[in-house]
Amino acid sequence: MPLLIVGSVALDTVKTPTEEHADILGGSASYASVAASFFEPPQLVAVVGDDFPERHIEYFRSRKIDLTGLQQVPGETFRWSGEYMVDMNQRQTLSVALNVFEHFNPTLPDDYRTTPYVLLGNIAPGLQARVLDQVEKPKFVVADTMDLWITVAREDLMNLLPRVDLLVLNDSEAKLLTDTPNLIKAAHLIRKMGPRYVCIKKGEHGALLLGDPSEDEFFSCPSFPVANLLDPTGAGDCFAGGLAGHLARSEQPTVTFAELRQAIVYGSVLASFNVEAFSLERLRKLRPAEIEARYAEFQRISQF
């Protein structure tokens, strides 16, 4: 079943306490699409400038990512730079240059408009809504968001939420959106805003998945213990991409909570591989057998 992914494709400069890499492949849609491609070839909608390296285009193609919706326009590609602190949990953004992404207007090719699974990457909720306006009766919609949109585009976000099946956000964003310090209460409050399911990411402490409390739809997923943490950039996007990719490969007529549990674990597995190298370098070398082996190890250590 096809999967549509909309978000940013960028060139990043990332500095950690031990290394620094400039102009490497980044962006929410890049990470999510590559992660999803291990399960189902996704359709990518994004924009890049005429300076975007051809080698990255070829890499997307090698992962069988449909690039019909990737716009390449005159100008420079979106660029971001950031620096991680010693514990790798805290990050400081050093610079942001939106460039061609500033005027990004996601327009879906005709073939994309009937795509049943949709992943709205971390872009402005107004743009996310514009994408949904072009999709005909999607089967399941996953949306990511961030503190910036909660603060500066709250009304647009609130209008979007009833159109979303699963909202993915981190713990601080959930608290900001609901003005409550308790994550369980926050998740239930977010459900009342529209989404059927809420997934709250907790970084190295895993993730929570909540649905209908009357059906006991609750799952706490641990994070996979990673000893070789080199670059956390894109981990959340790989999580969302792996999650959505697993759902898209299913042949079930509806998405069940049990299937969502599995999808959360697969998302966590992809994120755990991604942080083992800068940019998408670890995923370039990743093999499906490694994914299944780590998924099985996840099952063993969490006993789910």
Segment 270-281 mean pLDDT: 97
Q: Which domains does the chain have, with CATH numbers?
A: 3-164+221-302 (3.40.1190.20)
For residue range 18-65, list pLDDT tens digits in order: 999 999 999 999 999 999 999 999 999 999 999 999 999 999 999 999
**Euclidean distance between CA atoms 60 and 54, whole angstroms:** 10
Q: Could you write out the three-class secondary structure of the chain?
A: CCEEEECCCEEEEEECCCCEEEEEEECHHHHHHHHHCCCCCEEEEEEEECCCCHHHHHHHHHCCCEEEEEEEECCCCCEEEEEECCCCCCEEEEEEECHHHHHCCCCCCHHHCCCCEEEECCCCHHHHHHHHHHCCCCCEEEEECCHHHHHHCHHHHHHHHHHCCEEEEEHHHHHHHHCCCCHHHHHHHHHHCCCCEEEEECHHHCEEEECCHHHCCEEEECCCCCCCCCCCCCHHHHHHHHHHHHHHCCCCCCCCHHHHHHHHHHHHHHHHHHCCCCCCHHHHHCCHHHHHHHHHHHHHHHCC
Confidence (pLDDT) at 251: 76
Query: Is 17 a residue whose pLDDT tops 90?
Result: yes
pLDDT band at 89 (very low <50, low <70, confident <90, very high): confident
Using the predicted structure, report yes or no on whether residue 304 has a pLDDT greater than 80.
no
Residue 187 has pLDDT above 60, yes or no: yes
Query: Smallest Cα–Cα separation from 37: which of 70, 68, 2, 10?
Result: 2
214 confidence band (pLDDT: 50, 70, 90): confident
User: Residue 73 pLDDT more than 70?
Assistant: yes
